[in-house]
């Protein structure tokens, strides 16, 4: 009898163990079904949901730093950033604007505080490995026009370390009503340009013939980009000029020569100042001062890029039909008038960012066609993306730009500037020139010295 009871107990234990092993092997897959295709129990589904919830809750929240020096895009970029931040809960993007961005970024790099995304770009920083290679981001390049992709391509490596979203033009904005009243024509030579300024000064003494907002170093740096360096780019061509800039080829650059493009540029500027052809407050005037005076008919001409168009129209919407756009006149013997036709709104990713995937996620959002349409129409610049149709300007403005582009040599930005001598640095030298601290020849020598030192 005892033996029968013992056998019964052993049989029960064996049966329980078998049942437990069978239950343990009946696992569920990620669809909520078990491996035999049967629906998981409520308790199993609840456990799976709990695990997923825990994974989401423990996901790291990332803050990305977005650094820019483009004052005219702050508001629209903030709108896009706010939309992105609200669209998900694991990334927060924060925008930082700095007026002196090209120098502030040097400090950030030196302090190992590089922003994750930046709109500043210098060839010298690229050579130091500061930017991430983004050549593999085909979702951007497949949408970009071939010309703009070429302009974003590093001539040394053949890779892309920045991506642009827009095209821009820079030249001389002029008031067509003033020109028509005085019978003036667009000038393609320096002598004709000065003649126009003198006519305006004589006949309209309350109007500034040519407004320069010299309080902002980047603007004065652009005058060097488009005039003396523009002469080099137009004379030798884009690739040869960029190679010369990169290699500091003095036989082409000739910066320090007393009769070179830099010295002639400086003397022209000093002559304009001495003859009252520019605003007397040139060293304190800001871009806002310039826009207001131009929009109100108190300034006849000024140099800038198409990025300022929205500000002009905001100051005076009725002026749209009165805005003219012209090239920079030729000022060296045998040279041509030039106009900037280049990439705009370029973005680089720090090679040191810890959050590449999150940066790409945000930039994919930023580059969406609907966001880029809004951006282009706000910036008043054509989109570089082929799938973005933006009404960036009226037909009148588009015609002005088209005529200017077809009447002059098209040049690009000087991307191969030394890391130690930025466009803002060059602009500060022009401030010193206008303050009376240099002769034209001394300015040319100082520019060459600072360029050489920046190369080091």
Long-range contacts of 357-360 (CB under 8 A, 24+ apart): 358/62, 358/64, 358/90, 358/91, 359/64, 359/116, 359/117, 360/137
Based on the domain organization, do 197 and 270 belong to the same domain?
Answer: yes
In tens, the pLDDT along 67-122 reads: 999 988 999 999 999 999 999 999 999 999 998 898 899 999 999 999 999 999 98
Based on the domain organization, do 366 and 426 belong to the same domain?
Answer: no
Residues of the chain with pLDDT under 70: 1-58
- Report the 3 state secondary structure along 251-266: HHHCCCCCCCHHHHHH
Give dist(CA 266, CA 441) in Å, integer. 8
**Cα dihedral across residues 155, 158, 159, 160: positive or negative:** positive
Q: Give the tokens for residue 187.
A: 């000038």
pTM, rounded to two decimals: 0.75
Based on the domain organization, do 362 and 437 belong to the same domain?
Answer: no
Q: Give the tokens for residue 293.
A: 């005076």
Q: What's the pLDDT at 72? A: 87
Based on the domain organization, do 269 and 136 belong to the same domain?
Answer: no
Q: What's the pLDDT at 4? A: 40
Residue 38 lies in a domain: no
In tens, the pLDDT along 169-200 reads: 999 999 999 999 999 999 999 999 999 999 99
- Name beta bridge partners: 328: 338
Based on the domain organization, do 240 and 355 belong to the same domain?
Answer: no
Q: What's the pLDDT at 58? A: 55
Close Cβ partners of 231 (under 8 Å, ≥ 6 residues apart)? 261, 331, 332, 335, 338
Give dist(CA 288, CA 286) in Å, integer. 5
Q: Could you tell me the residue range of the domain that residue 155 belongs to?
A: 62-167+344-379
CATH code at position 269: 3.40.190.10
Long-range contacts of 197-200 (CB under 8 A, 24+ apart): 197/272, 197/277, 197/300, 197/301, 198/275, 198/277, 200/300
Q: What's the pLDDT at 289? A: 98
Residue 251 lies in a domain: yes
Residue 50 to residues 24, 88, 253, 448, Cα–Cα distance (Å):
20, 20, 67, 67
């Amino acid at each position: 009898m005892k033996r029968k009871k013992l056998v019964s107990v052993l049989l029960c234990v064996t049966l329980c163990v078998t049942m437990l092993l069978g239950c343990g092997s009946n696992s569920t897959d990620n669809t909520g079904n078990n491996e035999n295709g049967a629906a998981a129990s409520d308790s199993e589904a609840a456990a799976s949901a709990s695990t997923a919830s825990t994974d989401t809750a423990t996901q790291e929240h990332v803050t990305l730093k977005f650094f820019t020096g483009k004052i005219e895009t702050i508001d629209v970029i903030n709108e896009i950033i706010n939309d992105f931040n609200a669209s998900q809960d694991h990334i927060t993007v924060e925008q930082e604007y700095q007026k002196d961005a090209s120098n502030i970024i040097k400090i950030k790099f030196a302090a190992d505080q590089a922003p994750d995304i930046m709109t500043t770009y210098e060839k010298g920083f690229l050579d130091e490995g500061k930017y991430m290679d983004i050549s593999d981001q085909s979702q951007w390049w497949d949408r970009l026009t071939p010309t703009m992709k070429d302009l974003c391509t590093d001539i040394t490596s053949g890779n892309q370390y920045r991506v642009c979203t827009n095209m821009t033009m820079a030249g001389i904005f002029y008031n067509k009503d003033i020109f028509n009243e005085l019978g003036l024509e667009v000038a393609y030579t320096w002598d004709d340009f000065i003649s126009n300024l003198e006519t305006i000064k004589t006949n309209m003494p309350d109007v500034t013939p040519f407004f320069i907002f010299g309080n902002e170093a980047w603007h004065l740096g652009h005058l060097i980009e488009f005039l003396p360096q523009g002469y080099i780019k137009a004379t030798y061509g884009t690739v040869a000029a960029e190679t010369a800039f990169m290699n500091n080829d003095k036989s082409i650059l000739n910066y320090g020569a007393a009769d070179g493009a830099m010295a002639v540029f400086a003397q022209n500027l000093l002559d304009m100042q001495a003859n009252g052809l520019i605003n007397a407050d040139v060293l304190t005037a800001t871009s806002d001062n310039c826009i207001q005076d131009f929009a109100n008919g108190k300034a006849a001409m000024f140099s800038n890029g198409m990025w300022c168009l929205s500000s002009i129209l905001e100051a005076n919407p009725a002026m749209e039909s009165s805005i003219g756009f012209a090239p920079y006149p030729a000022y060296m013997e045998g040279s041509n008038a030039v106009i900037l036709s280049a990439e705009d709104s370029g973005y680089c990713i720090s090679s040191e960012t810890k959050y590449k995937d999150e940066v790409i996620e945000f930039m994919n959002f930023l580059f969406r066609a609907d966001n880029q349409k809004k951006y282009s129409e706000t910036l008043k610049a054509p989109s570089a993306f082929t799938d973005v149709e933006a009404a960036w300007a009226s037909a009148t403005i588009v015609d002005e730009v088209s005529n200017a582009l077809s009447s002059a040599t098209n040049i690009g930005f000087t991307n191969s500037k030394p890391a130690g001598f930025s466009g803002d640095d060059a602009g500060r030298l022009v401030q010193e020139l206008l303050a009376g601290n240099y002769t034209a020849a001394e300015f040319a020598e100082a520019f060459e010295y600072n360029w050489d030192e920046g190369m080091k």
